[in-house]
Amino acid sequence: MKRVAFLSLFLPLTVQSSFEAIDCGQESIFENPAEIKPGIQTLWVQAFGILPYTRISYSTPYNIGFGISNFGTNDYRENEILLGYSGRGLGVSVRAMGLWINGYGSDFAIGLDLGTRFQVTPSTNFILALSNINFPRISGEELPKRVMGGFVIKPSPDYRINVLLYKEAWYPMEVRVSNEIELSNLLTLMVGIKTYPASFSFGGCFSPGGFDILYNARTHPTLGFTHIMGVNYFEGGGVR
């Protein structure tokens, strides 16, 4: 009972835990299982300059994706193992989620996610992702369900706009808009905003030889910067 009471107080405070969202781009099977494409993605996040989050995913040419993530420190840690499949613009993934708190023990849950991505016009894709639709619980606390949907618009070959609506249980609806401008085959600049909490992000992507090397920084009104770095490789070339 003491452990459950502690978790009920602590879990809502982990604003950027891996069980809640780390919004590092919709082109990841962690955000949308419909985004499985052959290749490898790695990510390292330093949330607010103090909380580390890392993940790696690998997707086969047979539309099967596997991922693993770690969030937290020696005193508080969350881990996920993800297995997903996509086809014909639809995707499904199962996530095994483990929580460990020093002095309070550990717990485990299974989450189910669904996603889709399909072309609306030659320059516009619609995306939608639903997370934790099976109501998973850890230590009696229900993990937040999430809905993300919107459009990826490419009005020209070197310019892309992402317009997303994002809703997580217990939090207000967010609007997320980002712009990506390809300056050359090697360099893409990115800027974006989100409405809750109000923040601004900026960064770039360097793409030599089919790799994407990314860096983004995101502001927070009170907690400071979150630094996001990643290296991606997709068969047939980089994602940009």
Q: 57 in a domain, yes or no? A: yes
Q: 227 in a domain, yes or no? A: yes
Contact partners, residue 199, CB within 8 Å, separation at least 6? 193, 218, 219, 220, 221
What's the whole-model pTM score? Answer: 0.83
Q: 220 in a domain, yes or no? A: yes
The enclosing domain of 51 has a CATH number of 2.40.160.40
pLDDT at position 163 is 95
pLDDT bin (cut points 50, 70, 90) of residue 112 is very high
pLDDT at position 4 is 39
pLDDT at position 170 is 82
Q: 121 in a domain, yes or no? A: yes
Q: How far is CA 83 from CA 26, 33, 92, 110, 218, in A?
A: 17, 9, 9, 11, 28
In the chain, how many domains are there? 1
pLDDT bin (cut points 50, 70, 90) of residue 87 is very high
What is the tens place of the pLDDT at every residue in 125-184?
Answer: 999 999 999 999 988 888 889 999 999 999 999 999 999 999 988 889 999 999 999 999
DSSP letter for 225, please.
-
Residue 33's SS3 state is helix
Token pair belonging to 207: 């793409």
Mean pLDDT of the 44-67 span: 90
Residues of the domain holding 106: 2-234
**Would you say residue 189 has pLDDT above 90?**
yes
